[in-house]
Chain A
Amino acid sequence: MTVCNAVRLARMPLLRSEEETKVRDWFAELERPVELLIALGPEETPRAGSGDVDFGTEMVRVCEGLAELGERVTCQVEEEPEGFPRFPSVSVRPDGRDVGVRYDGLPWGYELGSLVGAVVEAGRAEPTLRPDSLAALEGLERDLAVDVFVTPT
């Protein structure tokens, strides 16, 4: 029997048992609610090797899986919401507010840690940057859009 990539992924647990325990502990410490808004829509054809993976479906599985690990983490799905240039995407929203923290594409493998980290950071009541960094950002007189290109390995 041939098992396709999509089926293989769907059967794969999101986190190992010890990782899940850690994430539950981190999410239990969140000081405010964090919403994961998943934006689904037409997807670009990825590089060869991705096979039949449905990135949107997998994104929903990943985010819903994370939401199950903390009472203050919620998840909702929208089809082609305004302001999202790429799909799938997830917007990490402290108190449900769009503060400009997003992940475009599937945060799988090593990058799942980045999404978990984004939730933990968004759940903090105060910023965690150093005071001199915060002072430098306060002096910003224009908007900055930072894109960080990553890969899952």
Chain B
Amino acid sequence: MLLAFRCALASERVSTTAIEANEFPQLSQELGVWAVPRIVVDGEPRWDGAVPEAEFLRRLLGQNWT
């Protein structure tokens, strides 16, 4: 979670919102949140689980996406 916040604090182009899944069940259902943390970028589910910083950035920015 903190890594995503750090990205928002480091770049004016990134905004990060933590969303408590149980409190917003409709949105969680729409985005298929079954595991946390689930990372959604621009409304599209991207991945589940915590990853190291370099991997987080690669996935976030779409570099070497696998």
Contacts and interface: CB of A to CB of B under 8 A. Distances in A.
Task: State yes or no: do A and B come from one complex.
Answer: yes
Given A132-B54, A145-B43, A149-B33, A114 B9 contact: no
Interface residues of A, number: 50
B20 A117 contact: no
B30 to A, nearest CB: 11
A150 B15 contact: no
Interface stretch (A9-17, A22-30, A42-50, A66-74): A42-50
Contacts of B37: 148-150
A142 B17 contact: no
Interface string A104-147: 11110001001001100110100111101110111110111111
B6 A148 contact: no
A146 B13 contact: no
A138 B23 CA distance: 34
A105 B20 contact: yes
Contacts of B18: 102-105, 107, 111, 114, 147-148, 150
Given A46-B22, A103-B18, A137 B38 contact: no
B26 interface: yes
A151 B21 contact: yes
Contacts of A105: 18-20, 22-24
Given A101-B5, A105-B20, A121-B9, A144 B60 contact: yes
Contact of A137 (B4, B11, B31, B39): B11
A46 B40 CA distance: 20
Given A43-B23, A140-B14, A149-B38, 8 more contacts: A46-B25, A50-B23, A86-B19, A122-B5, A129-B53, A137-B7, A137-B61, A150-B19
